[in-house]
């Protein structure tokens, strides 16, 4: 049986934020190595350059530096987990910038980016400050679901927690209970 390789991409600009804490709670239930490997990368530790859409002009150069590291890590993963707070009904800016760079990576034939991701799993772990069930994470879920569809990946759904101040995710009993079984789905 092929080992699963989970890549957790932390999109928060806050270290050990609520979204990361929720993701770590979910990851604690994963089968230990060698059947399941985990890699955790904080996007703020590997800053990507601003994305410029040059597909109709000069095309794209091969990824270098942080872009190369993140591209290679993405290609390594069988299960890609986008971990992000919900900021103004959207992904955090580091997570959105990371997805923007997919446009370049898809257009470099030597990377076989789209072919490699086809059939792999995309998950989302999101935390918003909505406590009234207003669905402020819904636009982010839609972005991730559509991204999975566009890339012919398996959309595995989103784990959503509710917290505002640092550490408040610990009080979201429903999210923590869901985290314990999230990756079993």
Using CA atoms, how far apart are residues 46 and 66, in angstroms rounded to an integer? 5
In sequence order, which residues have a C-beta less than 8 Å from that of residue 97 and are 6 or more positions away? 43, 48, 50, 51
Domain that holds residue 36: 4-184
Domain count, the chain: 1
Largest CA distance in the chain: 51
Closest CA to 113 of 90, 146, 141, 80: 80
pLDDT in tens, 66-115: 999 999 999 999 999 999 999 999 999 999 999 999 999 999 999 999 99
Radius of gyration, alpha carbons of the chain: 16
User: Does position 1 have pLDDT exceeding 60, yes or no?
Assistant: no
pTM of the shown model: 0.95
What CATH number corresponds to the domain at position 110? 3.40.50.360
pLDDT in tens, 23-65: 999 999 998 877 899 999 999 999 999 999 989 999 899 999 9
* Contact call for residues 4 and 37 (beta carbons, < 8 A): yes
The residues with which 80 forms a beta bridge, in sequence order, are 7, 122
Using CA atoms, how far apart are residues 4 and 100, in angstroms rounded to an integer? 25
Looking at per-residue confidence, does 59 or 134 come out higher? 59
First-to-last C-alpha distance (Å) of the chain: 18
């Amino acid at each position: 049986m092929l080992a699963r390789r989970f890549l957790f991409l932390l999109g928060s600009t806050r270290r050990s934020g609520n979204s990361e804490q929720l993701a770590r709670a979910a990851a604690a239930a994963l089968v230990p190595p060698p059947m399941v490997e985990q890699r955790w990368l904080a996007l703020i530790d590997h800053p990507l350059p601003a994305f410029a859409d040059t597909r109709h002009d000069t095309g794209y150069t091969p990824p270098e530096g942080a872009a190369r590291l993140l591209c290679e890590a993405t290609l390594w993963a069988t299960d890609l987990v986008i971990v992000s707070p919900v900021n103004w009904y959207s992904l955090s800016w580091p997570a959105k910038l990371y997805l923007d760079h997919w446009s370049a990576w898809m257009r470099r034939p030597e990377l076989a980016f789209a072919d490699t991701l086809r059939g792999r799993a995309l998950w989302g772990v999101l935390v918003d400050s909505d406590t009234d069930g207003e669905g402020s994470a819904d636009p982010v879920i839609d972005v991730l679901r559509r991204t999975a569809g566009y890339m012919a990946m398996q959309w595995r759904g989103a784990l959503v927690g509710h917290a505002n101040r640092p550490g408040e995710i610990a009080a979201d009993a429903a999210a923590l209970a869901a985290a314990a079984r999230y990756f079993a789905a």
